Chains A and B, each alone.
Chain A
Amino acid sequence: MSMTSSSGSTAGRVEAGEAARSDKQQQTTPPPPPPLPLPQARTGGFLGRHRLSAAITRLDQEILSLQEEINELETMDPSSAACQEVLLSMEGKPEPLLPVTRGPEDVSWDRWFQRVRSSRGHKWWTHKGSDFS
């Protein structure tokens, strides 16, 4: 908001600019602008109603969703059923990062420790148990 009452017009804006410049030249600080009027509380207006309605719609949808989930729980298996599935899903699966694993063993698991030829023609041999970087 401009300090001058005529800030709506071009002339007013120019005048304000000129005044500011001459103030600077005189090395004096202009008086502080009058405090702005506090914004009107808008909860009573359209915006407040709109926001509240939107929030209520959200909450109503969440209520439906929660009720749905509560109803689902009536027929849901306990956690032990899912725990059993976790165990079964691992049974008999080969695992390259474990000391003891089910077969078949894949020879490519150990490629990280084998002779590598780089594109630059360098060769090196890596041994298990050490850092070859």
Chain B
Amino acid sequence: MISLGTSQLIDFAYIVAIALFILALKWLSSPATARRGVLSGEIGVGLAVVTTFFNPGLIQYKWIILALAIGAMVGIPLGLVHMTAVPQRTALSHSCGALSAALIGIAEYYMSLPHVSRFEMTEIALEVIIGSLTFTGSLIAAGKLQEILPQRPITYRGQNFVSLSVLGAAAVIGISLVLNPNYTHLFPAMVIVALIFGVLLVTPIGGADMPTVISLLNSYAGFSAALLGFVLNLKVLVVAGALDGSSGFILSVIMCKAMNRSFTNVLFGAFGAVQVSKTKGEEERTVRTASPEEAAAILGAANAVLIVPGYGMAVAQAQHKVRELYDALTRRGVDVKFAIHPVAGRMPGHMNVLLAEADIPYDKLLEMESANSELPQTDVALIIGANDVTNPAARDEQGSPIYGMPIIEVDKARTVMVIKRSMSPGFAGIDNNLYYLDKTFMLFGDAKSFVNDILHELSGGSPG
């Protein structure tokens, strides 16, 4: 008769948890089963946490209980933030995850002294460096998204040299530690240098690059957890970290493709520094404008309308007004859909969440490819707070800094309407030729109040 010890039972529970994690991600493939995925994940983590309490090595519980209580007190408000704050909340949670992984690595180093082998030291050094830089990098990202820090790229001469030197310093200290794991005075220095590198890494990156940066930090946080699993020989961490790391990595690749840029270009390219010199075509070009009344008339007469939302819609908090517009037009028999560019907003999927929150059915939210195939049959493309992702220059002008970026081809629609505060160019500082087309009407004003004015005209125009 084989008897199972407590630690085997704990391992067994961890295996069940891992299976539940994979199911959780599998069920997330469709909105219909996604909530089941959350439940599966909850059961998995719950099971793992509860069985860990039976670990025979535990001798004191009061700090654990207190820390769990504090974690819950912090976690609940972070779980209840407004949907527009989801990007900064996500960045903050990457930083909490990375902090936790880094602290455990640090604790493990000091507990294992003076018997740290070079191999263990390599694992610990890598884990702690990645965890620390992800912690501060994510904090900076959250600060930018919350607009505590400026969203624009903060750059200075020789920046990449300074950043890479700091990373190099961390690597040199790490290697010295691997050669002499007992040089304990080097360890805090390595942590501090890694923390500084995290700040330097994210500070120069502008707001519009946040979808890529958040995804990259996501994958760093995941891989630091996986490395921690190697350090502690804990396979549940290896698996969870690998899942989180590959998720972040896949999202980073999708975001980079959607902007036609490479990782190195996002991290070191300083897009903001590429200020386009407006030498040619400086002659005054005229745009056509339309009043809310005219816009309402055009929209009301259309058969098919495609709305292209961008970060500007989120800033103006216009999503609920947009839903009212959707309702008003749908009641009139207009077919209204939404076209979502992969990098619209400040994190992957940001626009979908905001529109879903405003009660817009998700079958009306089109991905870029399907939107582009519908646009030639679309009467009106209405752009709200999006700019570069609709700029035909990305398709037509080889010299343009955004050339090659896949766009939503709104210029294929019969009429284009753009709600915009002013003619100021978008994040990339590139003029948008779309605004000068004969079929384009500029609707100047705040997104929320302009949509409201259109609604007013629509309801006034058709009593009952």
Say whether A and B bind each other. Answer: no
* Residue ranges of B at the interface with A (Cβ–Cβ < 8 Å): none
- Contact surface of A with B, Cβ cutoff 8 Å: none
